[in-house]
Amino acid sequence: MRWYKHIVLVGLLILYGFNNELVAQVKSVGVKTIVIDAGHGGKDPGAVGNNLKEKDITLSIALKLGELIKKHFPDVKVVYTRSTDEFIELFRRAKIANNAKADLFISIHVNSNKKPDPSGAETYVMGLSKSNGNLDVAMTENAVILKEDDYKNQYEGFDPHSPEAYIIFSLYQNANLDLGLTFSSMIQEEYRKINREDRGVKQAGFLVLWKTAMPSVLTEVGFISNPEDAKYLAKEKNHWLIAKSLFNSFSKYKGQLEGKIYHLLSSNDLPKIVENEDTTKEVHKNIPKDTIDKSINTIAINKPKQEQEQKQKDTTVINDATNDFQKIAEKLVNKAVQDTILFWVQIAS
């Protein structure tokens, strides 16, 4: 055996150990920090219509989601990109997530259309738009950078209104995308459970998702331009329902990555809200924080039969999703193994 064959052999043996370690590493990853991004804020109201402002609705849902996670997952760190009505640049939102070394990023938005007909909820991951509709949503959301002082430098000269500029997102591909898609599907499934119209999981070039270094999604919870959706979004109890959907998606996603089954919330676990008027204007400020904590019931021990059956269904979904995750993990390991083999062959020659 020639000397270089020994090197290759030793290399492969090390690689075998490394491979096992990597599998263990991928399996031990979890969701310890989540960044919740309430879209828009301050001088940027986002979409407006039917007496509502997007920035108020997104903040109300974001804070409620954060409260639910803090309450039921005390070990998870919740980071908000904003917790008040303030303007935060898109690039800074990604920076907050990266600095926090977050494991998951969720950006909450409300859709708008020139026509009043479109309605329902959809969730996006980063990528090239496959339809003009998706592109329009991304262009509308990205246009906010024009309100930022230094947008030309911060986004590498990106023009949010030029369809051609979006072609760069065709190159966007990474391992976080698969996990983002998994999380997005879970969100849409939870929306269906609260009878929200499901517009599906989509891809488009959202600048807020561009530079985040973790699985990232942007969810559009409804259309402010649609009278029925606007009526729904005006009610604070529905903000809790949407927050519950996002919480349950988070719970399933975390469970899938950690090989566990975490509890899911039902509507009964949410605070009872008596709506006086259909207005959400700064509705999040009307509930003192300690009231929120007290009013969220902990999970009842004796679950009604129907709920148990639902849990059974959810478990099946989680098992399916776990299989998906294992496939992704294997893919990552194989890629790393391939890269390493290449490295060793180069040394040997």
**Residues near Zn ion (CB under 5 A):** 39, 46, 109, 141
Q: Which residues contact 342 (CB under 8 A, 6 or more apart)?
A: none
Give the whole-angstrom CA distance, residue 175 versus residue 160. Answer: 26
Question: Considering just the CA atoms, what is the radius of gyration of the chain in Å?
Answer: 22
Q: How far is the CB of 136 from Zn ion (least distance, A)?
A: 12
Closest approach, Cβ 140 to Zn ion, in A, equals: 7
The nearest distance, CB 105 to Zn ion, in angstroms, is 15
Residue sitting closest to Zn ion (CB):
109
DSSP-derived 3-state class of residue 6: helix
Nearer Cβ to Zn ion (76/88): 88
46/120 with CB nearer Zn ion: 46
List CB contacts of 23: < 8 A, sequence separation 6 or more.
329, 333
Cβ-based neighbour number of residue 332 at 10 Å: 16
CB atoms under 10 Å from CB of 23, counted, come to 16
In the complex, what is the shortest distance from the CB of residue 48 to Zn ion, in angstroms, rounded to a whole number? 11
The smaller minimum CB distance to Zn ion, of residues 39 and 49, is found at 39
Provide, rounded to whole angstroms, the least separation between the CB of residue 179 and Zn ion.
Answer: 23
Q: What is the 3-state secondary structure (H, E, C) of 58-106?
A: HHHHHHHHHHHHHHHCCCCEEEECCCCCCCCCHHHHHHHHHHCCCCEEE
Q: How far is the CB of 297 from Zn ion (least distance, A)?
A: 32
* Alpha carbon distance, N-terminus to C-terminus of the chain: 15
For Zn ion, the closer of residues 39 and 255 by Cβ is 39
Cβ distance to Zn ion smaller for residue 40 or 254: 40
Can you say how many angstroms the Cα of residue 90 is from the centroid of all Cα atoms in its chain?
Answer: 15
Residue nearer to Zn ion on the CB measure, 18 or 158: 158
